[in-house]
Amino acid sequence: MSLQNFSKVVVWLYFLNLGMYSVTSLFNIEEPETYFWFVRIPILMFLYYKTSVTRSSLYFVGLLLYQIASVLFFTGDSVLFIMGSVSSVLFKFCLTLLIINDIEKQNRGAVLMAMIPFFVLYLYIINFVLLALGDAYWIWIINALLTSFMGGVAIINYLNNADAKGYWLLISAILFIVQIAAFFINKFYIKSEAIYQIVILSYGFAHFTFYRFLILKEKEEIGLKDISTS
C-alpha cells in the first residue's frame, strides 16, 4: 500500500473514531466512549508521523500536552483541573510557535487588531464562569490570549494569501475558539449534551485542520529551501 493510500486509511480511521466518540457520548455508552475519547490524539500523532516531511517535535509535544490536559480534565478533580489548564495553555503556546513564522513584519499591527474581537469575546465568556474557574482564571486568560492571537494570524494570513494553507489555518483557529467557548459553557454554565457534541466535533475538526495546515506549511518550506539551493 502506498503512503498516500495508507494516510487516507488513517484519516478515515480518525474520523470514524471521532464519529464513534460522538455517538457513544450521545447515547451515554461509557466504556466505549472512554476508549474513543482516549485514542483520538494518538491516531492524529500517528497520522502526522507517517505523513510529515519534518516531523516537528514541537507539534508532538503540543499534542502530548493536549492529551495530558484532556486526561486531567476528565478526572473532575479541582487541583488536577488547574494542572490541566496549565497543560492546555502550553499546548496553545506550542501551536503559537508553529505559526509565528507566518507573520510578516508589515502585518504585525494588523494581527494585533484582528485578535482583539476574539479576545474580548473570550473575556466575556470567562466572566460568566469566573467563580467556577477559581485560581485557574488567569491561566485561561493566557489561553484566551494565545487562541485569539492564532485567530488574528489566521485572518490576516488568509486575507493576504488566500491559499490552501491559509484556509486550513483559518478554519482551525475558528474551531478552536468555538471549542473553548462550548467547553466553558458546558462545564461551568449549562450542562447540555448538545453543547458537548459541539465540543467533541469542533475539537476533532480543529485538530485535523491544523494538521492539514502544518503539512502544507512543511511542504512549502521544503519547496522554498529546494529553490534557494538550486
pTM of the model: 0.93
Q: Looking at residue 134, what is its pLDDT?
A: 81
End-to-end CA distance of the chain: 32
Residue 225 lies in a domain: yes
Residue 59 lies in a domain: no
Task: Specify burial of residue 162 (Cβ count, 10 A radius: 0-12, 13-18, 19+).
Answer: exposed
Nearest to 27 by CA among 220, 178, 193: 193
Under 8 Å between Cβ of 62 and 98: yes
Has residue 121 been placed in a domain? Answer: yes
Going residue by residue through the chain, which has 230 residues, state the pLDDT in tens, using 9 for 90 and above.
677 788 999 999 999 999 999 999 999 998 999 999 999 999 999 999 999 989 999 999 999 999 999 999 988 888 999 999 999 999 999 999 999 988 888 889 999 999 999 999 888 888 887 777 888 889 999 999 999 999 999 999 999 887 899 999 999 999 998 998 898 888 877 888 899 999 999 999 999 999 999 999 999 888 755 444 44
Residue 33 lies inside a defined structural domain of this protein: no
Q: Is residue 188 part of a domain?
A: yes
Cell 491544523, located at residue: 210
pLDDT of residue 225: 54
- Cell numbers 460522538 correspond to what residue? 22
**Single-letter amino acid code for the residue at 57:** S
| Alpha-carbon separation of residue 208 from 18, 53, 128, 151, 204 (angstroms) | 11, 17, 29, 16, 6
Q: Is residue 130 part of a domain?
A: yes
Number of domains in the chain: 1
| Domain contains 144 | yes
Residue ranges making up the domain that contains 187: 98-229
- pLDDT given for residue 1 in this prediction: 63
Whether 83 is covered by a domain: the verdict is: no
